[in-house]
Amino acid sequence: MKTPVEGLHSLGPVTAKRLAEVGIADAESLREIGPVAAYKKLRFRFGRDVTLNALYGLDAAIRNVHWREIDDTRKAELRREAGV
């Protein structure tokens, strides 16, 4: 049975709904695509409504930690990979 994204730590209901709208409805799909590609899909579909906090939250959800636990080095790496 697949784990819905709504149950992942560090993702709120809006982000979970948006992920489903871009075809990422479960934790396994999110892990497979990764935080940067998921963020890019969200930005493409929802534009500036998707902030860097979403990128950090996606990474945190995959790691099963609170998004505030993502350190500055990892945040910089994510931004570089995302091209922002």
Per-residue pLDDT tens over the stretch 18-57: 999 999 989 999 999 999 999 999 999 999 999 999 999 9
pLDDT value for 4: 82
pTM: predicted TM-score of the whole model, two decimal places = 0.91
| 79 within 8 A of 35, measured Cβ to Cβ | no
Annotated domain spans of the chain:
5-82
Domain 5-82 has CATH 1.10.150.20: yes
Check if the beta carbon of residue 60 is closer than 8 Å to that of residue 10: yes
Backbone torsions φ then ψ of 15, nearest 5 degrees: -65, -40
Rounded Cα gap, residues 68 and 49, in angstroms: 20
